[in-house]
Amino acid sequence: MLKSLNAYRLNNTRKAEIDVLFFNRCAKVGSEALLELFNKLEDFNDLTMEREGLHRPTKRQLEKHEQRELAETISEFVEGSVYIEHVNWIDFEAFDLPKPIYINLVRDPVERVISWYFYSRGAYKNAIEYRKNPDKPIKSAEWYKKDFNECVRSGDPECQYVPFSVKDFVGNFKRQTLFFCGHHDDCIPFNSPAAVQMAKEHVERDYAVVGSWEDTNITLTVFEKYIPRFFQGAKTVFEIHNNQITNRNKNKRKPKIDADVKEMIRKNFTNEYDFYYFCKQRLYKQYLALHSFTTKSLNNTRKADIDILFFNRCAKVGSEAMTSMLDNLGVRNQFVLEHLGLNKPGKRYLPPKEQERLADFIFRLGANSAYIEHVNWIDFHDYGLPKPIYMNLVRDPVERVISWFFYARNSYKNAHMFRKNPNALLFPATWYKKDFNECVRSGDPECQYVPFTYIDYIGNFKRQSLFFCGHNLDCLPFDSPYAIQLAKEHVEREYAVVGSWEDANITLTVLENYIPKFFRGALSAYYGNFDNSFMKFLYFCLANKAQITNRNRNNRKPHIDKDAGPSVRMQSLNALELNNTRKAELDLVFFNRVPKVGSQTFMELLRRLSERNNFQFHRDAVQKVETIRLADDQQQELAEVISDLPEPSVFIKHVCYTNFTKFNLPMPIYVNVVRDPIERVISWFYYVRAPWYFVERKAAFPDLPLPHPAWLKKDFETCVLSGDQECTYTQGVTVEGIGDHRRQSLFFCGHAYECTPFNTVGALERAKFAVESQYAVVGVLEDMNTTLSVFEKYIPRFFEGVRDIYQSSAEYLTKINKNNFKPPVSEKVKDIVRHNFTNEIEFYQFCLQRLHKQYLATHIPQKILAP
């Protein structure tokens, strides 16, 4: 079948009648990334970028005269021009015009519509639109907040993809085939077999290449080989500018969609998937046609200049088993296994002089030799030396790092290491006892595998690709696309075989047939004739499993009842002493809410409780500018307003702790909620960039200017890592000019100037004192069960029944003000920020500890609530 593929027949570039590239780009397939690649290739390949089409409004059908006008415009471009527009396929021959070189991209149909759903709600896109057209009606905040999972499950018309439908409730570009089918009316019905067949016909007959970023390597290779005039050097340029190209128009705030929701949608995209797979299959055919897949062409053993096997073994891929096999096969196949490299310490980088010395040593072993060492790939030709036969093994990357984690702690390994080096430093016992699950979940630096990092907290051989990439410094950043490309290139060009014990049969068969000089009889050796030393080693591991797992285990520790520990701890706690509700002189709750701690959810709970428990609900009006620190006269005015409310009441406002007794006014019941300080600032960062946020603000205050699109597009990780002022949290600073509410403690410290310096001990101690002496309850967002239990027990007049209300409406309550556009932030970046939030974190931990004391003091049996 492969032999019948012919690159010439599969390349429609030859059918083009003008040297003009027409990229009638589909929506949401990564066309912006390809545009950025063209920007980089423009000078490299002497191209002319015609950018008019990038600014034209998109229409899903053009009239005949509009098609003709566009075709004529494209036909008049100079040779070497590239024209890009969101527009359906146009038949140039129908207008007696020369045919251009057609190209396009496709994407998984369901991922496309999900991408469009969130892209259309993106703050960045909408800010640009409203800058162009300030009078355009703004959609409601509810539309921006709409959750895709719920949209599909609820039967919302926006998320119903009905086969054969012609009109859409909301324009959503669900018809990927339309860009290939054309402007015929038969192309419009969604998921129609007729439209798909027409689209396939045009791809097969007219398109030079239809690629996909889901197969980047293949797509760029095919572009480069089938349309060299425009794409020469595309892979190299892509690797150099990878970050800039792949991040163009990327929506980092798209939330995860449930698998069952995707499956529901797929049932309505059957013909769209048929077309998508057709395009992918054609792309693979074009790629395969470029290669002659024979045993000879796939065997790099023939490229070796000397009969020496160089096994530059990756760590934790089963290389010891392969070493044992080569020991056995050496006698049978009459080659010498050099053991020197087995005892050398692994180094992740060798300078050129050391590489040359090692290459020269291997060369001097002579023919019929095998050399094994934990070392990166070395280019022997760089040093004027003949090339050996390269081989290696790989393993599932995650299984490798897990294996290394426990291997590094293995007593057998450590005993060997300390015999060789008795003066080596010992880790503490806690390090050897560390659990991998907990290590990952707790954010322990040892188990954080952060992309693009150079330096590791502890050496863990996580870079499997490094053994194939080599000693170039560009190989060091972890999980780097560029390092991966170099590694792939070396495997493809240099390695005779890269096997895996996960496919032992296939690996040994390939080794035996592709490198017979060294691996003749490998299968029979593996299944029947390993020497005793290897089997003894396996037996030793199995026999000593119990000894290893039981080492330092105390089997004589008696059983402790579950309630015994908490009972001992709670004996010193007193609920009365921990409850400041008794100090209140008004039957009135003052919730001076901290931003981004779930206060909207607590407000809704209090509103519902006001009906249940018969008290009045009051909240401050939405402010154009929220002032949380007040002058003395403003504090007094606020305290008087609250004191004049009828009892019982609740009053809610974003404001610092206000001391009523300072103005000779009765003390209310103070309550508040806190949240992990780092999660708060991240939440705020993305909240003010959420599309509905500025929609709601604009609706309330029409004269407010819209934020700049570049500011809206900013992401937190880049902001922190680049040293952007917005994300630089400097201790002691009082005014940043950025209203980001980074000072959680300020809401408890008060209005004094001494409370304003960020992350200071003075502000921390004042805030702690206020909580300890004034607040009835300070809840914690991350511990909702405990928080609601304590509220209900300590302030029953207002909070009786709160857990039942929360449990019955948890699905709704947990989604209030939830930002589905907030992307995950790496632990590496969070750790950077944590260094500047030491006192804020201490205050948070203080509040959490106090809440737990209040809970334990009441002996409340924990009730499990909905998440």
**Threshold 0.85, pTM exceeds:** no
pLDDT at site 297: 73
Mean pLDDT on 742-761: 92
Q: Counting every residue, how long is the chain? A: 867
pLDDT at 563 over 50: no
Residues 667, 673, 676, 680: is their CA dihedral positive or negative? negative
Instruction: Please answer whether residues 371 and 311 qualify as being in contact, where contact means their C-beta atoms are separated by less than 8 angstroms.
Output: yes
- Give the pLDDT score at 518: 95
Predicted confidence at residue 533, as pLDDT, reads 45
Q: Give the model's pLDDT for residue 454.
A: 79
The whole-angstrom distance between residue 198's C-alpha and the CA centroid of its chain comes to 38
Report the pLDDT value the prediction gives residue 526, as an integer from 0 to 100: 81
pLDDT digits (tens, 9 = 90+) for 336-357: 999 898 888 888 889 999 999 9
pLDDT value for 405: 87
Residue 740 scores a pLDDT above 80:
no
Dihedral sign computed on CA atoms, order 245, 248, 253, 254:
negative
Q: Domains in the chain, please, with CATH?
A: 2-120+172-289 (3.40.50.300), 298-550 (3.40.50.300), 580-857 (3.40.50.300)
- Neighbouring CB atoms inside 10 A of 702's CB total 7
**In Å, how far are 22, 223, 322, 632, 726 from 527, measured between CA atoms?**
58, 46, 13, 86, 63
Mean pLDDT of 671-699: 88
Q: How confident is the model at residue 181 (pLDDT cuts 50, 70, 90)?
A: very high
Q: Which residues contact 29 (CB under 8 A, 6 or more apart)?
A: 104, 105, 106, 107, 112, 176, 212, 213
pLDDT at 537 (0 to 100) = 40
If one compares 506 and 814, the residue with the highest pLDDT of the two is 506
CB atoms within 10 A of CB 460: 17
Q: Which pLDDT tens digit goes with each residue over 261-281?
A: 999 999 899 999 999 999 999
Residue 251 has pLDDT above 80, yes or no: no
% of the chain surpassing 70 pLDDT: 91
Is residue 178's pLDDT more than 70? yes
Q: How far is CA 796 from CA 455, 650, 790, in A?
A: 54, 13, 9
**738 or 404: whose pLDDT is higher?**
404
Predicted confidence at residue 148, as pLDDT, reads 92
Give the separation between CA 258 and CA 251, rounded to whole angstroms: 18
Q: What is the pLDDT of residue 448?
A: 83
- Specify the pLDDT at position 294: 66
The string over 380-410, giving b where at least 16 C-beta atoms fall within 10 Å of a residue's C-beta and e elsewhere, is: beebebebbbbbbbbbeeeebbebbbeebee
Q: How many CA atoms lie within 13 A of 346 on its CB side?
A: 17
Residue 221: band (very low, low, confident or very high) from pLDDT cuts 50, 70, 90:
very high
Mean pLDDT of 418-446: 80
Return the sign of the alpha-carbon dihedral for residues 734, 739, 742, 745: positive
Over 70: is that where the pLDDT of 577 sits? yes
CA distance 831 to 653: 32
Q: Taking Cα atoms as reference points, which of 26, 560, 11 lies closest to residue 272?
A: 26
Any idea what DSSP says for residue 209? E
Q: Are 23 and 83 in contact (CB under 8 A)?
A: yes
Based on the residue annotation, tell me whether 241 is a catalytic residue of this protein: no
- pLDDT at res. 555: 37
In the predicted model, is pLDDT for residue 234 greater than 80? yes
d(CA 114, CA 304): 50
Catalytic residue (choose from 202, 654, 741, 751): 654
Give the mean model confidence (pLDDT) for residues 689-698: 80
Complete edge-to-edge strand list for the sheet that includes strand 20-23: 48-50, 81-84, 20-23, 101-105, 207-211
DSSP assignment, residue 427?
A: P
Q: What is the arithmetic mean of pLDDT over 80-106?
A: 96
Give the range among 162-171, 464-473, 544-553, 608-617 with minimum mean pLDDT: 544-553
- pLDDT recorded at residue 544: 36
pLDDT at 803 over 70: yes
Say what the pLDDT of residue 864 is.
39
